[in-house]
Amino acid sequence: MTEFASVGGADNVAAAARGVTKTFGRTLALDDVGIEIRAGESHALVGRNGAGKSTLVSILTGMQTPDAGEVSFFGEPAPPVADSAAWRRHVACVYQKSTVVPELSVAENLFINRQDLGGGLISWKKLRREASSLLETYDVAVDPDSLVSTLTVEQRQLVEIARALSIGSRFVILDEPTAQLDGPAIERLFDRMRSLQDKGVTFLFISHHLQEVYEVCQTVTVYRDARHIVTAPVAEMSKPDLIEAMTGEAGGLNVPSGDDRPSSAEEVLTVSALSGDHFSDISLSATKGEVIGLAGSASSGKHEFAETVYGLRKPSSGSISVDGASVRGGDVPAALKAGIGCVPRDRHHQGLVLDLSIAENATMSTAGAFVWPSAQRSAGSTAIASYDVKAAGPDQPVSDLSGGNQQKVVMARALAGDPSVLVLINPTAGVDVKSKESLLGVVDAQARRGKAAIVVSDELDDLRVCDRVLVLFHGQVVREFARGWRDQELIAAIEGMSSE
């Protein structure tokens, strides 16, 4: 429905930023950086948290004006920041956070603020028809009448992409689109990106998963500490080179494998025949110093199982015990008291109170009846030092920290009471390579100190720390892998192809 054919040759530049500098107060967010995205390519932008990716996105989408430098689309200078309608014709962004209105229908969201389709009065029939044909054009199997709040994350993203393309934008920014998708959904998204690319759509793709960059992008740009480091064809950039560009240090991801961790026969955590939301009849036991991985798709019930062990959900049957003493189900304070610590699934939603200080967040689970500010501050300083949090001090609100450092504060909170069992759900989600190394190092160190841990994750790097990995499928354990599993094998099991 849109005339993508008008896009010129391969060296046509869809979007470019040159000499862009942006400061926020005393913080330099971008230091004379540039990027050039050729029409029809998928261009990856990678960098550690705090590298300036988000700031560049907000400048490329007209949300903020750079202090210096210029932005252009297909050679034309960008419209003034005040003219948001003009920006939306040039560029669209699918953020991690949704930009659709959940309680309105898909059809209305697709044509939001242009529901009248130019007619002055809204014709709901016409709107619905236009929406269906738009969804059909982009092969999105969603009922235009359904409320957006009832869609899955994947469907919601597709609706956002379709909306962007229908406005006429041929340049789409995907800001960590895969963070909340499971394996098959990610593959479907990539297929769609490739087919849209064939039609001339240009993508800027932001992700923490370097593997995805190799899978779907042709060019990669690396930012580090607010500066542009390198732009190169993906084919000419090896993974170690890419990591080196991101971290400024040579070498790949240095995750402790824990091969040499001492094992023990002493059982700490015993879960027997536990059933609850989306899982049933799971039993497992963990000994001192043992790290157990739980893998599976988003609907496998792995998150629900872990949350039930920590008391965030009520079990329907079965029992949990720590050091032989049974733990009341569905009761977080009881779980804490029994010696279970937890890094919850989503740090923004459950892990942190963003307006409160590092010290207060880190001590939230363990404070005594009296809270002495000086003691709290010193506990905060200890957490900053022991978990390598980059911060100005214990009084700094966690909202000021980058994602990786926020996650370290959540880890500090989980470990504050010196629990004997750790439940870690997506412990390295959305954090950069350095923070990931440091967080997984903490898991290994805690296991060496005799703690048992359950690591729930989709990321193979996280699972490499584990002594064994259980794969869940539709709420049941279907496979168990000992150390030394092969990536393909494990992924096949996670996707439910393990029966052969």
Partner 1 sequence: MTKAMTPTVSAPATAEKQKFRLARYQDLALVPVIILLLIIGAILSPIFLTPNNLIAVLTQQSELSLLVLGQAMILIVGKMDLSLESTVGLAPALAVALIIPSSAGGLDVGFAAWLALPLCLLIGVAIGGLNGFLILKVGLSGFMVTLGMLTMLRGLQLAITEGKSLIDVPESFLYLGSTTWLGLPAAVWICIVCYAAGIFVLKYLRAGRSLYAIGGNSEAARAAGIRVDRVVWTVLIIGSVLAVIAGILMTGRLGSVAATQGEGMIFQVFAAAVIGGISLQGGKGTLFGALSGVLMLGLVEQILRLQGVSGFYIKASYGAVIILALIVTRFATGQKQE
| Residues that bind partner 1 in the complex, under the rule CB under 8 A | 23-24, 26-29, 49-52, 54-55, 57-58, 63, 95, 225-226, 310, 312, 332-333, 335-336, 342, 344, 349-356, 360, 364-365, 367-373, 392-393, 395-396, 399-403, 413
Query: Which phi and psi angles does 416 have, rounded to 5°?
Result: -60, -35
Contact (CB, 8 A) for 242 and 466 = no
- Is residue 216 classed as helix, strand or coil in its secondary structure? helix
Amino acid in position 135? L
Angle at 454 between CA 451 and CA 459, to 5 degrees: 125
Q: In the complex, what is the shortest distance from the CB of residue 414 to partner 1, in angstroms, rounded to a whole number? A: 9
Considering the complex, state which of residue 209 and residue 227 has its C-beta at the smaller distance from partner 1. Answer: 227
- Is residue 303 classed as helix, strand or coil in its secondary structure? helix
Considering the complex, state which of residue 410 and residue 463 has its C-beta at the smaller distance from partner 1. Answer: 410
* In the block, residue with structure tokens 């000021």: 400
State whether the Cα torsion 5-8-12-14 is positive or negative.
Answer: negative
Tell which residue, 480, 476, 484, has the closest CA to residue 493. 480
Q: In the complex, what is the shortest distance from the CB of residue 181 to partner 1, in angstroms, rounded to a whole number? A: 20
Q: In the complex, what is the shortest distance from the CB of residue 368 to partner 1, in angstroms, rounded to a whole number? A: 6
Considering the complex, state which of residue 54 and residue 297 has its C-beta at the smaller distance from partner 1. Answer: 54
Q: In the complex, what is the shortest distance from the CB of residue 347 to partner 1, in angstroms, rounded to a whole number? A: 8
Considering the complex, state which of residue 65 and residue 218 has its C-beta at the smaller distance from partner 1. Answer: 65
Q: Work out the number of other CB atoms within 10 angstroms of the CB of residue 36.
A: 15
Contact (CB, 8 A) for 427 and 436 = no
Considering the complex, state which of residue 48 and residue 479 has its C-beta at the smaller distance from partner 1. Answer: 48
Q: In the complex, what is the shortest distance from the CB of residue 187 to partner 1, in angstroms, rounded to a whole number? A: 27
CA end-to-end span of the chain, whole Å?
44
Q: Work out the number of other CB atoms within 10 angstroms of the CB of residue 456.
A: 27
Considering the complex, state which of residue 49 and residue 300 has its C-beta at the smaller distance from partner 1. Answer: 49
How far apart CA 490 and CA 484 sit, in angstroms, is 11
How far apart CA 171 and CA 169 sit, in angstroms, is 6
- Is residue 166 classed as helix, strand or coil in its secondary structure? helix
Q: In the complex, what is the shortest distance from the CB of residue 409 to partner 1, in angstroms, rounded to a whole number? A: 11
Q: In the complex, what is the shortest distance from the CB of residue 64 to partner 1, in angstroms, rounded to a whole number? A: 8
CA distances from 403 to 193, 336, 357, 429 (A): 27, 25, 15, 9
Q: In the complex, what is the shortest distance from the CB of residue 179 to partner 1, in angstroms, rounded to a whole number? A: 13
How far apart CA 138 and CA 195 sit, in angstroms, is 10
The tokens for 426 are 């997506």
Considering the complex, state which of residue 96 and residue 476 has its C-beta at the smaller distance from partner 1. Answer: 96
Considering the complex, state which of residue 416 and residue 471 has its C-beta at the smaller distance from partner 1. Answer: 416
| Structure letter (DSSP) for residue 304 | H
Q: In the complex, what is the shortest distance from the CB of residue 170 to partner 1, in angstroms, rounded to a whole number? A: 23
Considering the complex, state which of residue 391 and residue 490 has its C-beta at the smaller distance from partner 1. Answer: 391
